[in-house]
Structure 1
C-alpha cells in the first residue's frame, strides 16, 4: 500500500540491495571502494538483505573437481579496478597460495576455490549486509504526487522491519528449472541440491544405491554423471538427453568476445532480430554445452567399461524422459526413444534433473511499484543501458537489475563474466543521477535556485 509523505524525517538509504550473491557482493565492494575515496557529500549509504543465513553460491554444485568456466581475472573487481584489494589474486596471497596458483598455469580455478574467494570477499563488507533477512515487499512513498522513496519490508527472526531507500538493486539470482509437470521430491531432485542431499540418500538406501538417472545435456548434467559414477562405484548411472551426445562449449577466443563489455553496448543498440541472431549464433558458449575435457573423460570411461565388460555408465541418447513415478524407496522412469518410440523402463534410486535455471521475476517483490515499471510488447521488463528499469515519470527512484535482462543486455546479464563492469556502471548511474531527494531537485530547478545533480 502506498504512503503519502508529508514531512517524515525517517532515515533513507541511498541504496538498498535485495539479495547478496556474487553480483551484489561486487556491488557492495564497488560502493565501499567509492566511499573510501569520496567526500561526505558523494558518499553512498547502502545496505543489503540476504535471506540465507550466510553467504552461499550454488553450494549443491561445488563438486570437488569442478572448475570455473570463466577466467579468474573475471572476478568481482579486476575488470573494473585492477588494483583492488578484493581481487582473486589478493585472496590467493592472503591464503598463502599465490605462488602455487601461478605454478599451476591455469586460468580456471576450482569452483570450490572460487566460492571460498566469494566468501572471503563478502566477509570484508559484512557490515553492509544483514543475513537471515528476507525482503517480502516494496511499497511506494509519495510526495507531491511522485514516488519519492521506496519502503522495503524485511522479515527476520525478530519480525518485520520497514526500511526506506532512494534506489534499489535487485540481485536475487536464478531459480532451478524443472520440466513442466515434474515436481521435486525425496528421490526426484534438481542438480542444485545434489551435494546437500546425497548423504541423506545414502542414509535411507540399503545396502547402497544401484541406479541413478541424470536428465540433461549441459555442463551440470555431465558433471553430475561423472560425480555419481565416481562416488558410487557399484551403481549404474544413466544419462538421458535428446542429442546424440554432449555438445562441446565454444570457448574459442573470437567467440568469447560475446562476453566482452563492449558486446553489451552492441547488443543493447542492436535491432531485435539481430539480438535473436546473436543468441542463436553464440548460445553454444554458455547453454547446454560441456567442456571438451569432460566429454572426453566420460567417453573414455564408457569405452573402458565396454572393454572390461562391466558397463555402469549408460547413455540413452536421442531420447526423452516421458514418465516418472516416485515411491518411498524408488523412482520408475520411462525413457522414450525419439527415433522409434521404443520405451525403456528404469527403476532408480534417484532421478536428477540438470535442466537449468530461470531468472527470478525481477518485479515479483515490487507490489504496486511494479505497475509503474514498463514492459515491452512481449511482456518483458524494459531496462536502460545502465540496468535501471524504465518506469513512468512519477517514479523518481532507481530500480536496478543484476540479472533478468538478457533480452536487453545479452548473455552476460546474469553471468560472472561482466559482473565487475556491470556494478561499476550501476555505481556511475547512481552518481550521475544524484543522490539527494529527487523531488527536492525538481523543485529547485523549477524555482530557478540551482541546477540538478550531475
Structure 2
C-alpha cells in the first residue's frame, strides 16, 4: 500500500479503547448500524484487558455494576453488564451473590465481550499522528503493529471529521523517586503481577503509595511475608489511610451540575479544590482497610509478621545512604515525616511504587497539531465543557480533564454521560438524553 494513500473517511475516529472510548463505541454502534454515523476505533494492544498487572483474583472495581459502558445512557442497550451476565448464564448467580461490585477480572471480561460484538473496533493498530487537511477534516495515520515491510512499518491513512482521544493514563512516579525507575527490584504497581514471583522471593518489600493499588498489593503479600519471615513495609505521604468517600451527597459531586459549576471556576480555584478532593476517588475501599486490619491482628498472634505502616511520610531515592532504622536491602529510601520533620534512611530489597497514574500532557499522536489545541496558563489542555480541545469542536478527550471537570473525569459511572454529551456535539442532537437535574444540593454561590 502506498504510505501516502488516504482511503476511508469517518464521521468519528476514536483513538484508544479503554473503558471510556469502548463505551463510546458501544453507544455509537446502533448509529453505525442505521447508517447515521460512520465510526472506527483503534488501539495498539491486541485486545481488551483492564489493569492486567493488578488483576488480583479477589479485587473488585470500586463502582457499582450500573457504571458499565452503556446502562446510564441507555439501559436497553445490548451492551450492558446485565446483558453480559445473561448471555453467559451468570445473571442468577450474580443476583444470589448480592454484590453491586463486579470482580475486576469479570469487568475486564465484560469489556472484552462488548468489544467482540462491535463492528467498529480495530486492535493491533497504532495511531501515529493526525493533522488537519485544507478541507477541515483530519488525516489520521495508522500503523498495524503486527506487520511491517522490511524495516519500514506499513502505514495507511484515513480521514476523520471528529476525533475522540481516549488513550488513557500512564504510570506516574514523583520526582523524588524518578531515579529509581528502571533499577532492579523497583516496579510500578501497574506491573505488580508481572513480577510477583520475583517480589515474593525478595527478602524485604516496601510499598510506597496511599491508594487502592497500594492497599491491594500490601494485602496480597501479607500472608506470604509472614509465612516466609520476610519484611513487608508500607509508607505513604498521605496523613492517613483515607477510605474512598462513597456517601450519597458526596457522590453528587460527580453530577453534571457539579461538573458545570467546577468548569466555570478559575484555573487556580479548580486546582486548589482538586487538591482537597483526592481521597474522594483515590482512597481505599473501607472493606479492604478493615480486611488489612483484621489480617494484621490475626498475624500478630504468631508474632512472625515484620511490618511497618507509616503515614505522613515523604520518600526519596537515596542510593548508598546508611540505613538508620536497622533494615537491610540493596535499595535506600530517605523517609521524612512531614509533620515532625524527623527523617531517616530505610533499606529494602524491593520497592513497589503505587504512586498512581496521570494523563499525558498531550497525547503523542496529537503532537504534530499542538498549535491547534487550546491550553491553559500551565500548558495543560483547556478542555471545553463539551470535552472539546480545539476551537472547531472536532477534537475531544476522555479522562484527561480532571483539572477542568473534577471528579467526573476518571469516574467510570460518568463515562456514559460524557459520551452522550460528545455524541450530541458531533451529531447536533441528543441521541441519548443528557440528564441535567441530578443533584438535590446546590453548588456555588448563585442565588445567595
TM-score bracket, normalised by the shorter chain, equals 0.7 to 0.9
In 1, Cα distance between equivalents of 2:104 and 2:9? 38
1:332 corresponds to: 331
In 2, Cα distance between equivalents of 1:230 and 1:66? 16
**Number of residues of Structure 1 aligned to a counterpart in Structure 2:** 407
Aligned partner (choices 243, 248, 258) of residue 243 of structure 2: 248
1:133 corresponds to: 125
State which drifts further: 77-86 or 192-201: 192-201
2:17 corresponds to: 20
Q: 1:276-315 to 2 correspondence within 5 Å?
A: 276=271, 278-287=273-282, 289-315=283-309
In 1, Cα distance between equivalents of 2:257 and 2:221? 40
Q: Residue 421 of structure 1 aligns to a residue in which SS?
A: helix
Q: Is the 8 A contact 1:70 1:417 kept in 2?
A: yes
In 1, Cα distance between equivalents of 2:315 and 2:185? 15
Deviation digits for residues 138-173 of structure 1 (CA, Å, limit 9, x no counterpart): 122114xxx343333435324222222111110000
Q: Residue 47 of structure 1 aligns to a residue in which SS?
A: strand
In 2, Cα distance between equivalents of 1:229 and 1:355? 20
In 2, Cα distance between equivalents of 1:9 and 1:171? 23
Seen in structure 2, the aligned counterparts of structure 1 residues 293 and 55 have a Cα distance that, compared at 3 Å, is same
Seen in structure 2, the aligned counterparts of structure 1 residues 254 and 142 have a Cα distance that, compared at 3 Å, is same
Seen in structure 2, the aligned counterparts of structure 1 residues 332 and 200 have a Cα distance that, compared at 3 Å, is closer
Q: Residue 81 of structure 1 aligns to a residue in which SS?
A: coil
Q: Give the gaps of 5 or more residues in structure 1.
A: 203-207, 435-454
Seen in structure 2, the aligned counterparts of structure 1 residues 238 and 63 have a Cα distance that, compared at 3 Å, is same
In 1, Cα distance between equivalents of 2:96 and 2:253? 29
* Residues 1:178 and 2:139 are matched in the alignment: no
Q: Residue 362 of structure 2 aligns to a residue in which SS?
A: coil
Seen in structure 2, the aligned counterparts of structure 1 residues 241 and 424 have a Cα distance that, compared at 3 Å, is same
Seen in structure 2, the aligned counterparts of structure 1 residues 295 and 226 have a Cα distance that, compared at 3 Å, is same
Return the offset for 1:261. Answer: 3.3
In 2, Cα distance between equivalents of 1:403 and 1:342? 37
State which drifts further: 378-387 or 317-326: 317-326
Return the offset for 1:11. Answer: 3.1
Q: Residue 10 of structure 2 aligns to a residue in which SS?
A: coil
State which drifts further: 63-72 or 167-176: 63-72
Return the offset for 1:200. Answer: 5.3
Aligned partner (choices 315, 320, 328) of residue 321 of structure 1: 315
Aligned partner (choices 220, 223, 234) of residue 230 of structure 1: 223
Seen in structure 2, the aligned counterparts of structure 1 residues 243 and 307 have a Cα distance that, compared at 3 Å, is farther
Return the offset for 1:225. Answer: 0.4
Normalized against structure 1, the TM-score is what?
A: 0.82
Q: Give the gaps of 5 or more residues in structure 2.
A: 149-153, 321-328, 431-448
Aligned partner (choices 22, 29, 34) of residue 31 of structure 2: 34
Superposed CA RMSD: 2.6
Q: Residue 411 of structure 1 aligns to a residue in which SS?
A: helix
* Residues 1:100 and 2:89 are matched in the alignment: no
Q: 1:82-97 to 2 correspondence within 5 Å?
A: 82-97=75-90
